[in-house]
Amino acid sequence: MEEMPREQQVKFYQKGTYTVGNRLVNAKSRAVQSSITRNNSLTSGHRACQGCGEALGARYAIDAAMRACNNRVMAVNATGCLEVFTTPYPETSWQIPWLHSLFGNAAAVATGVAAATRVKGKPEIRIIAQGGDGGTTDIGFGCLSGMFERNDDVLYICYDNEGYMNTGVQRSSATPPTARTATTPAVGKEPGNVFGTGKNLPRIAMAHGIPYVATASVAALHDLEAKVTKAMSFRGARYIHIQVPCPLGWGSSPASTINVARLSVKCGLFPLFEAERGEVTSSVPIRNPIPVIDFLRTQRRFAHLMKGGEENERKIAKLQAIADENIRRYNLVRKEV
Amino acid sequence: MEHPFAITLDVGSSLANRTGSWRTSRPVYVKHLPPCNDTCPAGENIQAWLFRAEEGNYHLAWQEIMKNNPLPAIMGRACYHTCESVCNRARVDETVGIHAVERFLGDMAIANGWTVTIDKPVSGKKVLVVGSGPAGLSAAYHLTRLGHKAIIHEAAAQTGGLMRYGIPTYRLPRRVLDAEIARIEAMGVEVRLNRRVEDLGAAMAEEGADAVFLASGAQNTRLVDFPTDGSVQVRDAISLLREIEDKRAQLDIGKRVAVYGGGNVAIDAARSAIRLGAKEVIIVYRRTRATMPAHDFEVVEALEEGIELRVLRTIERIENGGLVLEERVLTDTNRSNPTGRFEYLEKVDTVVMALGQLVDNNSFLKGVPGLEFVGDGVKVDNLLRSGREGVWAGGDLIPAERNLTLAVGHGKLAARQIDAYLRGETYVHPPRGKIAKFEKLNSWYYADAPKTIQPALSLIRRQSGFEEVLGNLDESNALYEARRCMSCGNCFECDNCYGACPDNAIIKVGPGQGFEFKYDYCKGCGLCVTECPCGAIDMVPETI
């Protein structure tokens, strides 16, 4: 899948080829987010921080799912930022049927809701489970793996901000190496999160052989919406992993959330790809690749790497090696781009 | 609705939580001045007409140009397009080919016979315009649209001034010139040919004019004196170009021609000499190629046609059918200093002097009471008013950079001044916006696309006659080129702000109506500002 919709590849749309909408293309080729009638599944008044990437990612994904399923969508939410900032009693920002139970059981609850729709004979109602990286890669991982191996008819969306942000920025198994968090302070011999830890959940999901796995970014809206739409065309267990920068936890400016996500994709640290039944089927080539340092220097969580010295250079080189490995594995830098 | 604790909440009930109170600065939609518009000497709103052209709405685009410039087909060819030298797109890939799209629109208007409307009711006032060059025609056009009667007195047998008698046909075909002038005349501008003004007061009285715009140009060639034994023909570039126009290229200039000077007129003369059958043309210039006043692309085209540059040289004297040249050196301050070393350029048939033009101060201008001169030209204030009430002056007649586009701009400014004067009002310049700088754009959103190269005629064809050198864009190319405009500082409704707001605090009003902020919910994160491709949103501090 290309990041740019096919209709926009014709040579007449140089202006704003990658923008949300574009008055020069037909309405079908514009993003769901450009529509006056988009659902706004997550509406105003929520208590997310300024420039929250997760609030953005959740609206992008659920609005696209609503469009794809004629608004017949129910969501189950793990505990986490997304649950806390959207639904502080007695208010909620959700404009869809939405359920919250515990931190670790979103996948299991969603399995149950999916079973209920089946029993009730309403297969047109589609179930989404969603949570942050904590509720997905750590606390909810057992239930999620079970949902995958049983191939339950649920789309699980992980909004990955690389840490436990609303409890005060603790490390999760999705926190990248060297990143400073409250539990991996930038002190001592090995400042920040250590190399060789953490897990790559999209690849673990692929290993379950489920119908569809994809990664997406708030900086690539057309691609994100296309992947959610595609996921809803499958039955069975599906998984989408969306990177959502957190200005608070990453130490970036609220105004730069999308740009930071873009740099993360452009340097190769966050590859955009999709896989079906365990096999990678496509990836989004990087337009104008950059070295990882251009991404790292936009965030205070990596500020300790910017102080110079051999040790820091070695660490930056190790991060670059991770990016280079992604670029090789997913064929992210191609000649034709 | 009453619900049991923590069981059910009403959808969207968070709207009660006005998160706008968190904000310390607010985003506001703005319009900034694109650099192309800022630099255009004719004051065109280039971004606005490209916005219409990219929709394929060429008629509207052309009308937008015509608000400021009555000669798009001419300017699209002969203007040196300073707009393109400041185009922000150059920082992404290459500049937008603004002149090529303008020319495409201008030609389309001629082909379709498009006309403009007269915007104001007839005022009954008459304005005498002296000269039918670009400044005079522009003033007459704008005065007519403003409801006044413009009467042009032209000394020559044909209209157009230096557009006809200075710009060679390979840069500006005469059918284009004639068509655009005919459109202005058809609006009701009266042109009296072969009418050289000898006494301005008498000419005003004869026409019953309430005001005057002087645009009689600068036709005298600047001459330098060097000794000659008469063995080489010496002539000036302006009269040469005029003679080419009158005699339609039936002119013998010899086989080996030297052109003295480094400006655009020198290049025009040199390229014309090639077309008159000269085998070798040498441009002699006292400074370096980099410091030549001629536009670089003109120099490049001249070199492509086989013209030789002899830089850092001055002509010392003419003897034995050749030129004695002195070598020069450039000082740090770009002065050309003599070296005392000489060389001989042999077998020269003609030397063409192209060292600049001067206003003829000995003409009727001398007899106009109150009119003052400064250096070479008529003294005017920054609103083009001369020392005599009711008389404005512009174009090459006043001391300024002398070019076609500036002249068209002068005509417009003078027309607006004269309009206000005739109505007993004072013309006030509308305020200029802040410049839309490249740093304010988010260029990631613009896909790379190289500038469409205008199909150039083959060199052979170019050297053999006075056919037009640059071809036109076809419609698909013109559309492609128009859509490369980044719309710097002006919203083009890409929906990025609407999509990028994490708080759903932007209302999309509808096509053509833009966007509004919901300040009740906007937290002031500034994401919309960062993600706006064209820099049309500013953050301003809240007053607390």
Q: Which residues pair with A16 in a beta bridge?
A: none
CB-CB under 8 Å, B449 with A14: yes
Q: Does A317 lie at the interface with B, CB-CB under 8 angstroms?
A: no
- What sign does the dihedral A226-A231-A232-A234 (CA atoms) show? positive
The DSSP symbol for B323 reads E
Distances (CA, A) of A61 to A44, A112, B201: 16, 22, 77
Nearest to B492 among A16, A43, A247 (CB): A16
For A56, nearest residue in chain B (alpha carbons): B502
Q: What tokens were used for B500? A: 């990028």
Alpha helices by DSSP H, listed for B31-152, are 35-39, 46-53, 58-66, 72-78, 82-85, 98-112, 134-145
Q: Does A33 lie at the interface with B, CB-CB under 8 angstroms?
A: yes
Q: What is the mean pLDDT of chain B?
A: 90
Judged against a pLDDT cut of 90, whether residue B440 lies above it is answered with yes
Q: What tokens were used for B512? A: 């053509």
CATH of domain A31-329: 3.40.50.970
- Structural fold of domain B13-31+491-541: Alpha-Beta Plaits (3.30.70)
Nearest to A46 among B14, B498, B518 (CB): B14
CB-CB under 8 Å, B521 with A258: no
**Residue B53 confidence (pLDDT):** 93
- For strands A154-160 and A238-243, give the pairing: parallel
CB-CB under 8 Å, B449 with A11: yes
Contacts of A87 in chain B (CB under 8 A): 9
Q: Which residues pair with A276 in a beta bridge?
A: A279
Q: Does A96 lie at the interface with B, CB-CB under 8 angstroms?
A: yes
Mean pLDDT along residues B80-101: 90
CB-CB under 8 Å, A20 with B499: yes
For B449, nearest residue in chain A (alpha carbons): A14
Confirm if A126 and A97 have CB atoms less than 8 A apart.
no
Q: Within its chain, how far is the Cα of B453 from the centroid?
A: 20
The DSSP symbol for B366 reads G
CA distance B137 to B158: 13
Per-residue pLDDT band for A12 (boundaries 50, 70, 90) equals: very low
CA distance B470 to B463: 13
Domain-by-domain residue ranges, chain B? 13-31+491-541, 126-220+358-422, 222-357
- The reply to whether B13-31+491-541 and B126-220+358-422 are identical in fold is no
CATH of domain B126-220+358-422: 3.50.50.60
pLDDT tens for B470-526 read: 777 777 778 888 888 999 999 999 999 999 999 999 999 998 999 999 999 999 999
Q: What tokens were used for B43? A: 């004051």
A59-63, B217-221, B454-458: least confidently modelled range: B454-458
Q: What tokens were used for B140? A: 């007459």
Distance, in angstroms, between B461 CA and closest chain A CA? Answer: 31
ipTM of the complex model: 0.93
Closest CA to B86 of B30, B32, B44, B40: B40
Residue labelled with tokens 């706004």: A40
Mean pLDDT along residues A156-180: 97
Distances (CA, A) of A290 to A268, A323, B318, B442: 8, 10, 62, 16
Confirm if B104 and B76 have CB atoms less than 8 A apart.
yes
Mean pLDDT along residues B263-276: 92
- Structural fold of domain B222-357: FAD/NAD(P)-binding domain (3.50.50)
Contacts of A91 in chain B (CB under 8 A): 9, 13-14, 16-17
Chain A interface test: which of B490, B495, B529, B540 (most A C-beta within 10 Å): B495
Closest CA to B488 of B90, B105, B59: B90
Confirm if A239 and A156 have CB atoms less than 8 A apart.
yes
For chain B, give the percent of residues with pLDDT over 70: 94
Q: What tokens were used for A50? A: 């300024």
Distance, in angstroms, between A120 CA and closest chain B CA? Answer: 21
Distance, in angstroms, between B13 CA and closest chain A CA? Answer: 5
**Residue B359 confidence (pLDDT):** 87
CB-CB under 8 Å, A91 with B14: yes
Closest CA to B534 of B92, B12, B79: B92
Q: What is the mean pLDDT of chain A?
A: 93
Confirm if B305 and B331 have CB atoms less than 8 A apart.
no
Per-residue pLDDT band for A8 (boundaries 50, 70, 90) equals: very low
**Residue A5 confidence (pLDDT):** 44
Residue type, A206: M
Grouping H, G, I as helix, E, B as strand and the rest as coil, residue A190 is coil
Judged against a pLDDT cut of 70, whether residue A53 lies above it is answered with yes
CB-CB under 8 Å, A45 with B11: no
Confirm if A212 and A230 have CB atoms less than 8 A apart.
yes
For chain B, give the percent of residues with pLDDT over 90: 67
CB-CB under 8 Å, A20 with B496: yes
**Residue B419 confidence (pLDDT):** 96
